[in-house]
Each structure stands twice: as C-alpha cells, then as structure tokens.
C-alpha cells in the first residue's frame, strides 16, 4: 500500500487578513486599555485628622490622586491627607508639593523687604535696577517694579514670537515643561516683548519672573537664596525651597487619569513659580505672617489696584463675596495644584494641595464654608467652558480619526476596492499614530471618552495587522510625492509618540 501525504490547503487570503486584523486589534486594544483616559481616584492612604480626611475623600471626586488640606480657625490648625505621593507613600502636612504661582507672593514680599532695606524702590524702573543691560527704548526697561509685582506692566502672560509660540506648542503637546530659560534668556524675552495696556491689569508670568530676577540681580544674590534669606528662613519654613529637582519625598504630578507628569523646573522662570516646593505645614506658617502688619508678607498682600477678580497687591488677590473679604493665591504646574484662601476678619484660612491637574480652589471654598469669591463675568465663564470642552473634543474625535484612517487605508478605502500603495499607507498610519499620541497627551479624561479611545486603538491595530499580511501584494510605486507624504506622516507620528514616551519616562 502506498501512502501519500495530503498537501496542506493554503489559508484563503480573506481569512488570513481577518486573523491578522483581529490579532492587531486585540494587541492594540489591550495596550489601549492600559492607557485609557479613565479618571483616577485617591488611594486608601490616610494621614492626619480622621474627620478632615473623611471629608476630603467624600469631596474628592474623579480625577484626583492625592489631597492634603490644612485648616486654620482661631489659631488652631487641623490637617489631613488622602492618597499617595506617586511613589507609594501617603501624602500629609509635611509632604513637599510644587506650589506654582503662590511663589509670586514670595517675590512680592522680596520687593517689600528690599525696599525697606533701601536696596530698591517700588517705583524704580527695570533699566535702573539692572543697568548693565542695554534695554530697548520704550520697552520693559521703562516699567517699574511695582507694575511688575501687580501685573500692570503690559507684558504678555508668556514670552511671545513665532519661535516661542512653536516651542510652547511642541512642549505642551509632548508633555514637557513649557518653561526652560536661563536668567539671561528671561531678560532677553522680556525685553523683546511688546507692551500692551501698560497700567491695566494683565496677569503675566513673564513679568513676575522678570521682577524676581531683577531683584536678585540688584541684591547680588541668586533668587533661590534670596527667597530663603528674606522670606522662608525667617518664618521657619524649612520645607520650602526653589530647586532644580524635586526634594526627597516630594509629591509627583499626575494627569486626571493618574499618569505621571513631567516636573517643571527653570532657572529664569523660578520667580513666577517654576521649580518651587513647599508643604502644608510651611504654608500655614506663611499664612500666619499675614496677621503681623509689620511683616513683608502682610504688606505685599495689601490691595493696591483693581484686578479681574477684585484687587491685587504684590502677588496676592483680595476678593469679596456677599460682603465678606478674602485673601487668595493659587498655583498650578504640570499635574499639581495648590491654593491659599484666608478670611482675615474671621481668623480662618485654608491651604490645599492636590497632585493632579484638577484645581483645588473649590475644595478650599467648601472647607471654609464661605460664599465663593471666584465668580468671573460672562466672558471668563465662556473661556472656562471652552477650555473644558476642547480636551473633551480631542478625546472624542482624535482617536477615531487616527484609528479609522489607518484601517481604511489598509483596506483600500471604505469598501476595500482601491489599490493600496505602501508609501501611502505608511503616511496614513503615521498620521493615525499622531492622532492617538495627541489624544494621550492633550485629550480629556472621563469615562465617556474611554469608548472612543478604545475604538480608535482597536481600529489602528486592525489596520496595522491587515497591512502586515497584505504588504507584499500592495503597490510599491515610489514617487517623490508619495515619499514626502510617507515621511511627513511617519515623522509626525513616531516623533510625537517618542516625545510623549520620553516625557512619561522622565516624569
């Protein structure tokens, strides 16, 4: 009897395509699930006062990671923390957090103290305080220190110009710090900026940074040391410092999904609130200085000029609501927020920290049980709505664009009847990857956005899987236009994905 082998039957192309697309969809879907924009919630860790910790947990809501609050009433301090610092340790009253723009009140106190010592005067011009630079005529050199301290210099919020704008956009979308300037670069950026509405309130990080560095230059002491010598050390604020790296035990920044964010540090921008850490315990001491009319902190907080929310001093805002008066300053960087809200007439104050991108001002208002002083006009409300809707729009649309464009390109159009060119697919896949990476970096975080994100990832994976088995049969024509399109898409997608990955690894 003769036995012959039965030849194996080749897998039909359609079935191979379906299997490959399914495999790619499963892999991409699992990866997408790990990176999904689902809101985080604080972990089970608790420190400090149990009742306050329970209140924080009840009020936290989605998008939080860790929270610390210290409440001062009639000289008594109650503090508590929930969640962790991003390294597995509970957050509490001694945990260092980035304080962002609260630093501007330190800079304001420096102006007061240096004026008392005869080093500068509030009405000194920048060019007189830093005379070794050739300041541009009609520019920021003619602005006074008091104008810088009260946001009336006419300087824009940030450095302007095509190069600065492109750098800011690229850093934001990739997840890196938007601030990275030396003192000299800071002076140059401020000198080049055009002044708009000088004498009117226009919040300016650039102006605050210039003020602090100008004061440091006149005093002959680097800004970090000047803050320590004249503001924090005299108050016993041992956990507060201007640094080029996080101090031991510092809380890590996170986005609303609990993903780590990059640390913001910048030598030149430090006086505006970049690279400055403090603790709830220290800021309670700082708030206590407001009760001493002779302190530089209290004098800096004195209201001097009208602002968008009320009246502004040197860094501090004085707000009113239902006949009650409050002192306030907050700060936000990357994925950390901090706020100080005080009501001097009733002897109460609150300090709140959160190491996620969700602001904490509303928690401060509820902790003090006071009417909210944060009620802007219609234009401000419209701007807030637009700012909130943009990430949601990105999160809902971008992943679907990225995934479906890649899958449709691999199929040869919606009906699968168009010949596919290899280079054209590479361009489409690169662009699709860009949309997914941009969603991860800039998109909103909400349970409702998980579905479009997963759908986009699954579609992208299916397209790549399909391409893997059909590649050999696709058109290989390589015109200059197709090369350019492919290179643009691949560089865009791989470049942003690589930048986002590096930023996440360095966070």
Geometric angle at alpha carbon 379, from 376 and 383, rounded to 5°? 95
Residues 395 and 349 in one domain: no
Q: With respect to residue 49, please indicate whether it lies within any of the assigned structural domains.
A: no
Nearest to 281 by CA among 21, 470, 405, 96: 96
What pLDDT was estimated at residue 167?
A: 66
Pairing of strands 276-278, 305-306: unpaired
Q: Could you give the CA distance from residue 56 to residue 425 in angstroms, rounded to a whole number?
A: 50
Residues 424 and 496 in one domain: yes
How confident is the model over 271-280, as pLDDT tens digits? 999 999 999 9
Q: With respect to residue 52, please indicate whether it lies within any of the assigned structural domains.
A: no
Q: Which residues contact 144 (CB under 8 A, 6 or more apart)?
A: 122, 123, 124, 125, 126
For the cut 60, the answer to whether the pLDDT of residue 11 exceeds it is: no
Q: Could you give the CA distance from residue 360 to residue 418 in angstroms, rounded to a whole number?
A: 53
Residues 193 and 279 in one domain: yes
Structure tokens at 357: 């991108």
What is the average pLDDT across 288-302? 97
Range name among 8-17, 186-195, 435-444 with the lowest pLDDT average: 8-17
Q: Could you give the CA distance from residue 501 to residue 507 in angstroms, rounded to a whole number?
A: 10
Which helix (DSSP H) or strand (DSSP E) does residue 204 occupy?
Answer: none
What pLDDT was estimated at residue 54?
A: 98
Residues 413 and 366 in one domain: no
Q: With respect to residue 158, please indicate whether it lies within any of the assigned structural domains.
A: yes
Residues 138 and 177 in one domain: yes
Q: How confident is the model at residue 370 (pLDDT cuts 50, 70, 90)?
A: very high
Residues 22 and 79 in one domain: no
Geometric angle at alpha carbon 120, from 116 and 124, rounded to 5°? 130
Q: How confident is the model at residue 13 (pLDDT cuts 50, 70, 90)?
A: low
How confident is the model over 429-472, as pLDDT tens digits? 999 999 999 999 887 888 999 999 999 999 999 999 999 999 99
Q: With respect to residue 26, please indicate whether it lies within any of the assigned structural domains.
A: yes
What is the average pLDDT across 379-383? 43
For the cut 60, the answer to whether the pLDDT of residue 378 exceeds it is: no
Q: With respect to residue 57, please indicate whether it lies within any of the assigned structural domains.
A: no
Q: Could you give the CA distance from residue 269 to residue 184 in angstroms, rounded to a whole number?
A: 11
Kindly write down the DSSP assignment for every residue of 437-470, as one continuous string: HHHHHHS---GGGHHHHHHHHHHHHHHHHHHHHH
| Average pLDDT score over the chain | 91
Residues 367 and 234 in one domain: yes
Q: Could you give the CA distance from residue 115 to residue 378 in angstroms, rounded to a whole number?
A: 39
Which residue, 345, 375, 405, sits at the end of a domain?
Answer: 375
For the cut 60, the answer to whether the pLDDT of residue 377 exceeds it is: no
Residues 489 and 386 in one domain: yes
Residues 122 and 261 in one domain: yes
What is the average pLDDT across 158-176? 67
In the chain, the number of structural domains is 2
Q: What is the pTM of this model?
A: 0.87
How confident is the model over 43-61, as pLDDT tens digits? 999 999 999 999 999 999 9
Residues 358 and 435 in one domain: no
Which residue, 307, 342, 375, sits at the end of a domain?
Answer: 375
The number of C-alpha atoms within 13 Å of 215 and in the hemisphere containing its C-beta is 35
What is the average pLDDT across 297-324? 96
Q: Which residues contact 108 (CB under 8 A, 6 or more apart)?
A: 149, 300, 301, 313, 314, 315, 316
- Give yes or no for a contact between 39 and 445, defined as CB atoms under 8 angstroms apart: yes
Residues 307 and 437 in one domain: no
Q: Which residues contact 32 (CB under 8 A, 6 or more apart)?
A: 453, 454, 456, 457, 458
- Give yes or no for a contact between 201 and 151, defined as CB atoms under 8 angstroms apart: yes
Judged on CB neighbours under 10 Å (0-12, 13-18, 19+), 167 is: middle
Per DSSP, helices labelled H in 71-229 are 103-116, 126-129, 145-149, 162-174, 183-192, 205-219, 223-227
How confident is the model over 325-345, as pLDDT tens digits? 999 999 999 899 999 999 999
Q: Could you give the CA distance from residue 108 to residue 147 in angstroms, rounded to a whole number?
A: 11
Q: With respect to residue 59, please indicate whether it lies within any of the assigned structural domains.
A: no
Geometric angle at alpha carbon 363, from 359 and 367, rounded to 5°? 155
What pLDDT was estimated at residue 382?
A: 45
Q: What CATH number does the domain containing 221 carry?
A: 3.40.710.10
Q: With respect to residue 411, please indicate whether it lies within any of the assigned structural domains.
A: yes
What is the average pLDDT across 371-399? 71
Which residue, 375, 409, 439, sits at the end of a domain?
Answer: 375
Q: With respect to residue 404, please indicate whether it lies within any of the assigned structural domains.
A: yes
What pLDDT was estimated at residue 375?
A: 72
Q: Could you give the CA distance from residue 110 to residue 114 in angstroms, rounded to a whole number?
A: 6
The number of C-alpha atoms within 13 Å of 14 and in the hemisphere containing its C-beta is 1
Q: Could you give the CA distance from residue 435 to residue 417 in angstroms, rounded to a whole number?
A: 25
Residues 229 and 311 in one domain: yes
Q: Could you give the CA distance from residue 194 to residue 139 in angstroms, rounded to a whole number?
A: 7
For the cut 60, the answer to whether the pLDDT of residue 2 exceeds it is: no
Q: Which residues contact 149 (CB under 8 A, 6 or more apart)?
A: 107, 108, 111, 122, 208, 211, 300, 313, 314, 315
Q: Could you give the CA distance from residue 479 to residue 489 in angstroms, rounded to a whole number?
A: 16
Geometric angle at alpha carbon 480, from 477 and 483, rounded to 5°? 75
Phi, psi of 351 (to 5 degrees): -120, 130
- Domain of 467, in residue numbers: 16-39+382-506
């Amino acid at each position: 009897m003769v036995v012959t082998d039965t030849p194996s039957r080749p897998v039909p192309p359609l079935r191979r395509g379906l299997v490959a697309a399914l495999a790619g969809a499963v892999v991409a879907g699992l990866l997408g699930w790990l990176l999904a924009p689902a809101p985080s919630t604080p972990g089970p860790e608790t420190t400090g006062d149990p009742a306050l910790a329970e209140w924080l947990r009840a009020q936290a809501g989605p998008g939080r990671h860790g929270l610390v609050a210290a409440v001062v009433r009639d000289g008594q301090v109650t503090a508590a923390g929930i969640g962790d610092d991003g390294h597995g340790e509970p957050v509490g009253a001694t945990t260092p957090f980035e304080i962002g723009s609260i630093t501007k009140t330190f800079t304001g106190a420096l102006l007061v103290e240096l004026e008392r010592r005869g080093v500068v005067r509030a009405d000194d011009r920048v060019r007189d305080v830093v005379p070794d630079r050739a300041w541009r005529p009609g520019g920021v050199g003619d602005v006074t220190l008091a104008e810088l301290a009260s946001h009336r210099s006419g300087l824009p919020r940030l450095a302007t110009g095509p190069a600065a704008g492109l750098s800011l956009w690229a850093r934001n979308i990739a997840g890196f710090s938007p601030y990275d300037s030396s003192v000299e670069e800071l002076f140059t950026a401020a000198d080049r900026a055009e002044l708009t509405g000088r004498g009117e309130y226009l919040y300016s990080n650039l102006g605050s940074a210039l003020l602090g560095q100008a004061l440091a230059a006149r005093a002959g002491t680097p800004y970090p040391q000047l803050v320590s010598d004249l503001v924090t050390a005299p108050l016993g604020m041992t956990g507060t410092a201007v640094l080029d790296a996080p101090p031991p035990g510092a809380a890590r920044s996170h986005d609303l999904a609990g993903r780590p964010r990059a640390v913001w540090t910048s030598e030149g921008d430090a006086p505006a609130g970049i690279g400055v850490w403090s603790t709830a315990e220290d800021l309670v001491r700082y708030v206590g200085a407001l009760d001493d009319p002779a302190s530089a902190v209290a004098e800096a907080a004195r209201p001097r000029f009208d602002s968008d929310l009320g009246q502004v001093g040197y860094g501090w805002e004085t707000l009113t609501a239902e006949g009650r008066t409050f002192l306030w300053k907050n700060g936000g960087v990357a994925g950390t927020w901090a706020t100080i809200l005080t009501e001097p007439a009733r002897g109460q104050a609150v300090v709140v920290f959160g190491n996620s991108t969700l602001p904490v001002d509303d928690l401060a208002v509820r902790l003090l049980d006071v009417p909210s002083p944060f009620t802007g006009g219609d234009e401000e409300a419209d701007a807030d709505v637009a700012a909130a809707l943009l990430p949601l729009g990105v999160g809902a649309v971008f992943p679907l664009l990225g995934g479906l464009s890649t899958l449709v390109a691999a199929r040869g159009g919606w009906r699968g009847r168009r010949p596919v060119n290899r280079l054209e697919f590479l361009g489409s896949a690169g662009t699709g990857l860009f949309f997914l990476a941009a969603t991860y970096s800039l998109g909103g975080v909400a349970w409702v956005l998980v579905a479009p994100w997963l759908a986009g990832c699954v579609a992208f994976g299916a397209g790549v899987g399909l391409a893997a088995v059909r590649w050999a049969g696709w058109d290989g024509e390589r015109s200059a236009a197709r090369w350019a399109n492919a290179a643009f898409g691949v560089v865009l997608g791989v470049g942003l994905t690589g930048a986002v990955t590096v930023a996440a690894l360095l966070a």
